[in-house]
Amino acid sequence: MRARTRLAMGAIGAVAGAALLTGCGDAGSSGTDAPQTSASGAGCAPVAGQQLVALEDDKKLQNSDNVIPAVNSKVATPQLIAALDKVSAALDTPKLVQLNKAVNDDRKTPKVAAEEFATANNVTSGIAKGPGGEIVVGAGNFAESQTLAELYRIALTAAGYQVKVQQIGNRELYEPALEKGEVQVVPEYAATMAEFLNTKANGPNAQPVSSPDIDKTVTALKAEGDKVGLTFGAPAAAQDQNAFAVTQAFADKYGVRTLSEFATKCSGSATVLGGPPECQQRPFCKPGLEKTYGLSVGSFSSLDQGGPLTKNALREGKISVGLIFSSDGAFATS
């Protein structure tokens, strides 16, 4: 379970069961027939399957949480930023999914996974030498952050720095360390970091500064960073944000690929949404699906925050759709 707090989610909640309701198609059916459209109000019962797919957020419910390097401004030389930007340029969401699969499923260390990725994607090619010196790259206490930190280490080493990676913990610990210069670089997420700095400066009820537009989010992030001595590199195409997943068998059975299609075809009593307990109140989860997409579900299954309980419930045909993270290795197709 990753430790960083998302815009939509809080801490992991307790596990509670939810009864499955009958509807269009039996839970656990194979999904080999032609796509079905549920009768009005019937919803779409769960369909078991091993492969998970993310429904496209076609109306942009989620804000732009692209991976982005955060740097203490005192060390943010052009060469250092350029080296970190090489990592950003090499990363998109499918590649981040594969990196997470390599660590979480294939049991490679973040260091090994990062080194293999850097070699395969020529990350160090053309990196100019900087002024050198010691750099500490901080990492959050979840595997993705540690792998990204190792990628930053590789790029900065190629730029002539002496680099070590230090796992620190959650953002509440590593962000102050970054401001103080106790660590100099941390892999971050644009919208989440923008709102962290925003609420830290302006209080928990501050007007949000991030949006689904990555350019607007980065502009706001850099403005917040300037106030506390932080500089940000270029955002990667890779995003790690809330995603609503179904099994491939479910998507095939009901003919859904987007959240709009899901809301149109699957609103109704048989549809079961799974996620952490706070999903029922948070604006980027159940209320957001209702407001942005007009989705109505029959029941909610209280599980975990993008973790094994939610993924297993999808695979076992206990929930129709579940909230997991868009870069989860479960989305890998090979």
> Model confidence at 121, in pLDDT bands (50, 70, 90)?
very high
How many residues are given for the chain?
Answer: 334
| Residue-wise pLDDT tens digits, 143-181 | 999 999 999 999 999 999 999 999 998 899 999 999 999
> Model confidence at 240, in pLDDT bands (50, 70, 90)?
very high
Domain chopping of the chain, boundaries: 1-62+241-334, 67-232
Report d(CA 162, CA 178) in Å as an integer. Answer: 18
Q: Which long-range contacts (CB under 8 A, 24 or more apart) does 127-131 make?
A: 127/82, 127/83, 127/86, 127/155, 127/158, 127/159, 128/79, 128/82, 128/83, 128/159, 129/79, 129/159, 129/160, 130/77, 130/79, 130/80, 130/83, 130/159, 130/160, 130/161, 131/77, 131/79, 131/160
DSSP 276-305: -GGGGT-TTSHHHHHHHH---EEEEEE--S
The dotted CATH code for 1-62+241-334 is 3.40.190.120
Written as one letter, the residue type at 275 is: G
Written as one letter, the residue type at 65 is: D
- Percent of the chain at pLDDT > 70 equals 88
Q: Is the pLDDT of residue 38 over 80?
A: no
Angle between helices 143-158 and 93-104 (to 10 degrees): 110
Dihedral sign (CA 240, 245, 251, 255): negative
Write down the pTM of the prediction. 0.85
pLDDT confidence of residue 282: 87
Which superfamily does 67-232 belong to?
Dipeptide-binding Protein; Domain 3 (3.10.105.10)
Q: Is the pLDDT of residue 3 over 50?
A: no
Report d(CA 314, CA 52) in Å as an integer. Answer: 8
Report d(CA 23, CA 253) in Å as an integer. Answer: 13
CB-based contact 47:250 (threshold 8 Å): yes
Q: Is the pLDDT of residue 4 over 50?
A: no
User: Which strands, in side-by-side order, build the sheet including 321-325?
Assistant: 52-54, 242-247, 321-325, 268-275, 297-302
Written as one letter, the residue type at 82 is: A
- Look at strands 268-275 and 230-232 and give their pairing: unpaired
Mean of pLDDT values over 176-187: 98
CA distances from 83 to 95, 114, 158, 164, 239 (A): 19, 15, 8, 15, 20
